């Protein structure tokens, strides 16, 4: 049965979506009217700013987030409770986080108002503030802060599979400081194991559209944003530009994945071949603790400022607090909020359940075949930029998107993306499960299937719940599949938040962003209430 289910998962959620999307792009590219053209390619190269912006974004944001996560990760070894700080930030979708961050840290944000209230330095919003409302730097900062908790979660899963404490003790016996041992002994192995999660973050950064629409510069826009905008322009030359840009994104993705595959090798050459040197005077452990505190403050601050903005009747700069708090805006907008909220909830619930079960089926099949390594084809949808892939789906489905099937196709597209994330989160706990527990159960008379249901699944309940919560949050955050395959008749909190906030209406945008954040946050809170089961105690 597991074999049959795994074949169904492969066909419906991996081979079919990836194969159909890429194949249609190949066939469409040969069309002289809407396919790739040398003139469009030359125009893209001449306007290289978009390509350069996309490349900088896809390199800087993931690698800064990666090394920040590695720097902060030793705190997890000392205090397991630090992982609880990840849940609030993991639960906040990118769009809600961007809206909250702008309300908190933009030139007219709450932190600037606080400085003005204390010092009187900014009677008007500062023009040279480090986090402008629309810039490539702002997009990079949003992505770094948003991807950091995900990478910390991935590192935490790997640390449970490695004898890190033993390695650190042995290294210190040879004269290394604890931090030197971390960077020279533990980090190389973590970088090797983080190749696939990092690849997913890199490709997401390359093809993200909703965040640049909210806080990115339009002069120039990143390439994914330009391709997205061209698809809504019905002129033939715009369609040709969109198709050409999609292939440029695929070429950039291939180059970036190649660079990422050499990351651990390059780290080995640049860092490990150098002598350890003298112990560092900078107290990086203390700074790392401050960084964890900053993450906690940021998650609390984003939630608070979104809630205040959604209730503020008026809040003019430089007032530190709203003039009055009132539910009037909620009452006025609720009729508009209800439909996208219902769509978001049911799509997330169904697609997260589907993705989590599908990931468990694939991992169970791996256990039967005694394969413990990451099965990279499962993550193939994350390794292809979303813009060209979803564009291919849209063109393949064609007429089906106008015949009342939109909601079904949106659900399917969400499940395509919840599966790899659930797989990433579950992989470590699932493949390292102690087989002896199943053997003991079967020796007491349980069948193999009954042993799985009665022993293995209860012992893995917390990793499964976390995988479901992450998948739920991933579904809530989906923008392009919902916008293109939903054809505007399946609005979600994400599509509405981008539509409203990108137009500059942060007050109404805060309503959608707050609801978009609350749905996955409630799921993460429920997951946090699940006891660490027997797996943590006995594995």
SS (H, E, C) 462-483: HHHHHHHHHHHHHHHHCCHHHH
Q: How far apart are the first and last CA of the chain?
A: 27
Q: How remote is the C-alpha of 272 from its chain's centroid? A: 30
- How big is the chain, counted in residues? 539
List the one residue out of 297, 329, 289, 298 whose CA is nearest residue 313: 329
pLDDT for 534 equals 42
In a 3-state reduction of DSSP, which class is residue 487?
A: coil
Gap between the Cα atoms of 317 and 315, Å rounded: 7
pLDDT for 74 equals 86
> Are 393 and 17 contacting, i.e. CB atoms less than 8 angstroms apart?
yes
In a 3-state reduction of DSSP, which class is residue 242?
A: helix
Distance (Å) of CA 424 to CA 6, 198, 428: 17, 11, 8
Four-CA torsion 49, 52, 58, 62, nearest 10 degrees: -100
Phi, psi angle pair for 225, to nearest 5°: -65, -40
Gap between the Cα atoms of 493 and 94, Å rounded: 12
Establish whether domains 1-30+330-539 and 49-224+263-326 are of one fold.
yes
**Token couple for 204:** 């997401």
Residue whose pair of structure tokens reads 């609801």 in the numeric block: 515
Q: From 3.40.190.10, 1.10.1370.30, 2.40.50.1040, 1.10.3720.10, which CATH number describes the 49-224+263-326 domain?
A: 1.10.3720.10
> Are 428 and 361 contacting, i.e. CB atoms less than 8 angstroms apart?
no
**Domain edges within the chain:** 1-30+330-539, 49-224+263-326
Cβ neighbors of 396 (< 8 A, separation 6 or more) are 20, 21, 24
For the chain, the helix, strand and coil percentages under 3-state DSSP, each to the nearest 5: 75, 0, 20
**Token couple for 169:** 């003790």
> Are 313 and 325 contacting, i.e. CB atoms less than 8 angstroms apart?
yes
Opening angle at CA 49, ends 43 and 54, nearest 5: 110
Gap between the Cα atoms of 428 and 433, Å rounded: 9
Let me know if domain 1-30+330-539 sits in CATH 1.10.10.60: no
Q: Outline where DSSP puts E strands in 350-392.
A: none
Cis peptide before 411 (omega within 30 of 0): no
Gap between the Cα atoms of 298 and 426, Å rounded: 27
Phi-psi region of 209 (alpha: psi -120 to 50; beta: other; left: phi over 0): alpha
pLDDT for 282 equals 44
Residues of the chain with pLDDT under 50: 278, 281-282, 533-539
pLDDT for 261 equals 92
Helix (H) or strand (E) holding 412: helix 406-431
Residues 254-282: pLDDT tens digits?
Answer: 999 999 999 988 998 887 776 655 455 44
Gap between the Cα atoms of 404 and 402, Å rounded: 6
Gap between the Cα atoms of 126 and 133, Å rounded: 12
């Amino acid at each position: 049965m597991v074999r049959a289910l795994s074949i169904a998962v492969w066909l419906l959620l991996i081979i079919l979506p990836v194969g159909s999307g890429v194949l249609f792009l190949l066939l469409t590219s040969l069309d002289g009217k809407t396919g790739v053209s040398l003139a469009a390619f030359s125009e893209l190269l001449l306007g290289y700013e978009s390509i350069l912006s996309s490349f900088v974004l896809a390199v800087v944001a993931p690698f800064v987030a990666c090394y920040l996560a590695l720097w902060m990760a030793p705190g997890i070894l000392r205090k397991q409770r630090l992982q609880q700080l990840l849940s609030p930030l993991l639960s906040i979708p990118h769009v809600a986080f961007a809206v909250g961050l702008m309300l908190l840290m933009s030139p007219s944000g709450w932190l600037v108002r606080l400085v003005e209230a204390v010092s009187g330095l900014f009677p008007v919003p500062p023009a040279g503030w480090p986090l402008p409302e629309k810039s490539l730097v702002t997009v990079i900062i949003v992505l770094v802060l948003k991807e950091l908790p995900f990478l910390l979660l991935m590192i935490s899963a790997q640390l449970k599979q490695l004898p890190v404490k033993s390695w650190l003790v042995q290294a210190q016996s040879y004269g290394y400081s604890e931090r030197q041992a971390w960077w020279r002994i533990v980090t190389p192995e973590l970088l090797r194991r983080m190749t696939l999660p990092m690849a997913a973050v890199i490709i997401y950064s390359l093809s993200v559209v909703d965040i640049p629409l909210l806080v990115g510069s339009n002069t120039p826009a990143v390439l994914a944003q330009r391709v997205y905008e061209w698809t809504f322009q019905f002129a033939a030359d715009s369609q040709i530009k969109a198709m050409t840009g999609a292939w440029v994104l695929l070429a950039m993705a291939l180059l970036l994945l190649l660079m990422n595959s050499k990351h651990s090798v390059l780290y080995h050459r640049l860092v490990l071949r150098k002598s350890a040197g003298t112990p560092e005077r900078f107290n990086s452990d203390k700074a790392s603790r401050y960084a964890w505190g900053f993450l906690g403050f940021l998650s609390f601050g984003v939630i608070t400022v979104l809630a205040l903005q959604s209730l503020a009747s008026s809040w003019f700069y430089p007032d530190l607090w709203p003039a009055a708090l009132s539910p009037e805006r909620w009452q006025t907008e609720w009729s508009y909020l209800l439909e996208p909220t219902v769509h978001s909830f049911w799509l997330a619930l169904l697609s997260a359940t589907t993705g989590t079960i599908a990931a468990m089926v694939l991992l169970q099949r791996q256990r039967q075949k005694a394969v413990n390594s990451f099965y990279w084809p499962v993550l193939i949808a994350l390794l292809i930029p979303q813009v060209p892939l979803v564009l291919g789906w849209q063109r393949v489905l064609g007429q089906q998107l106008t015949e009342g099937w939109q909601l079904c196709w949106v659900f399917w597209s969400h499940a395509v993306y919840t599966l790899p994330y659930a797989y990433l989160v579950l992989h470590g706990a699932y493949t390292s499960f102690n087989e002896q527990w199943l053997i003991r159960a079967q020796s007491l008379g349980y069948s193999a299937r009954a042993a799985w249901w009665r022993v293995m699944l209860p012992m893995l309940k917390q990793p499964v719940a976390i995988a479901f919560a992450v998948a739920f949050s991933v579904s809530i955050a989906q923008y392009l599949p919902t916008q293109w395959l939903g054809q505007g008749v399946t609005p979600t909190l994400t599509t509405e938040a981008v539509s409203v906030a990108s137009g500059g209406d942060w007050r109404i945008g805060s309503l959608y962003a707050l609801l978009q954040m609350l749905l996955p946050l409630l799921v993460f809170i429920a997951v946090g209430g699940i006891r660490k089961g027997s797996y943590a105690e006995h594995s």
